[in-house]
């Protein structure tokens, strides 16, 4: 990225253009090598803890086939070294990341959650082609409507940062703003998803990332991951919504932000960024129904 103001503005415009056109953008070298390495070390340690004891439940996080975990910023993973929590939170509020997220959303980015994708220990498999909309609206007509209304463009971004080299994500460029073609539908939804791991998705594009590179994709477009035991995967995913489209659910329900010391180790700018998250969702996680 260029550092002068004008260059930076025009590259952000290109990002925003590509995002609305293709539903995804790759940002090479989004994070410096030292930050990426630090986050990789923390992710490794957090994953080890999660396998043994998931901070949210006190139970083992997942078996050998697991491929993702959420909420790496839960304080339970950082009791022995609070500096690791500050590093994760500072990563989420990294100025360059917020600049990219703001350019894509064309709005103030609101924090949503942290996730880690990793290779399983057993059961290699290619992921299911999907649109995340199919999880929110099992009714196909509702889903069609969301996509026809613009695929939620500008509402949410999933920013995946490779902590080790990765070409595990595939997308179908442009699919975020239109319904499936017959061939796509036959893979994604037909026959109750029997063909949804097909390698023959037309127009599929595999995204190649080096450590510190990122891909942001619109989860309403067609996409999938890959989970092979022999391909090391450590991808940190930071999710943001547009501040005007908040969504309260498992991902944004993070009552630990109310702990008095939770933001103690971070800069004023990082604290300011998360204060908007707490303002938005705190009233909901403080009501008994959100448990
Ligand atoms: O990166 C992956 O493995 C899949 C991610 C995905 O489908 C999602 O976060 O919506
Ligand atoms: Fe997805």
- This prediction's pTM: 0.93
Residue 290's pLDDT is 55
Distance CA 84, CA 226 (A): 28
Verify whether ligand 1 is closer than 6 Å to residue 150 (CB atom): no
Which residues crowd ion ligand 2, with CB under 5 Å? Answer: 132
Task: List the domains of the chain with CATH numbers.
Answer: 5-290 (2.60.120.620)
Choice from 114, 126, 133, 158 to test ligand 1 binding pocket (greatest atom count within 8 A of CB): 158
- What ligand is nearest to the CA atom of residue 170? 1
Residue 4's pLDDT is 41
Residue 267's pLDDT is 98
Residue nearest to ligand 1 atom 7, measured at CA: 224
Residue 48's pLDDT is 98
Verify whether ligand 1 is closer than 6 Å to residue 73 (CB atom): no
Distance CA 260, CA 15 (A): 38
Q: Which atom of ligand 1 is nearest to the CA of 226?
A: 3
Judged on CB neighbours under 10 Å (0-12, 13-18, 19+), 243 is middle
CB 16 within 8 A of CB 101: no
Residue 291's pLDDT is 52
Q: Which residues contact 270 (CB under 8 A, 6 or more apart)?
A: 89, 90, 92, 93, 263
Distance CA 22, CA 218 (A): 9
Residue 2's pLDDT is 36
Taking 70 as the pLDDT cut, the residues of the chain under it are: 1-10, 151-154, 290-291
Verify whether ligand 1 is closer than 6 Å to residue 50 (CB atom): no
Verify whether ligand 1 is closer than 6 Å to residue 225 (CB atom): yes
- Strand order across the 223-224 sheet: 205-209, 166-171, 223-224
Distance CA 18, CA 73 (A): 30
């Amino acid at each position: 990225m260029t550092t002068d103001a004008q260059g930076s503005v025009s590259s952000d415009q290109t990002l925003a253009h590509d995002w609305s056109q293709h539903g995804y953008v790759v940002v090479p070298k989004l994070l410096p090598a030292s930050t990426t390495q630090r986050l990789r070390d923390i992710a490794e340690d957090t994953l080890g803890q999660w396998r043994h004891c998931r901070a949210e439940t006190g139970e083992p996080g997942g078996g050998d086939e697991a491929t993702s975990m959420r909420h790496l910023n839960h304080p339970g993973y950082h009791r022995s070294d609070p500096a690791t929590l500050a590093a994760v939170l500072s990563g989420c509020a990294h100025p360059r990341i917020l600049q990219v997220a703001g350019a894509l959303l064309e709005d103030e980015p609101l924090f949503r959650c942290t996730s880690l994708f990793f290779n399983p220990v057993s059961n290699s498999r290619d992921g299911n082609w999907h649109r995340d909309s199919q999880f929110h609206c099992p009714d196909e007509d509702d889903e069609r409507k969301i996509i026809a209304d613009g695929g939620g463009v500008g509402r949410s971004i999933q920013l995946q940062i490779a902590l080790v080299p990765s070409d595990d994500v595939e997308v179908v460029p442009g699919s975020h703003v239109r319904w499936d073609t017959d061939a796509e539908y036959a893979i994604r939804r037909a026959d109750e998803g029997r063909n949804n791991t097909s390698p023959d998705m037309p127009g599929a594009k595999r995204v190649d990332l080096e450590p510190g590179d990122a891909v942001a994709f619109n989860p309403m477009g067609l996409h999938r991951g890959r989970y092979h035991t022999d391909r090391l995967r450590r991808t940190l995913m930071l999710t943001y919504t547009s501040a005007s489209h908040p969504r309260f659910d498992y991902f944004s329900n993070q009552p630990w932000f109310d702990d008095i010391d939770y933001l103690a180790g971070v800069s004023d700018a990082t604290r300011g960024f998360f204060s908007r998250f707490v303002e938005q969702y705190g009233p909901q996680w403080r009501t008994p129904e959100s448990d």
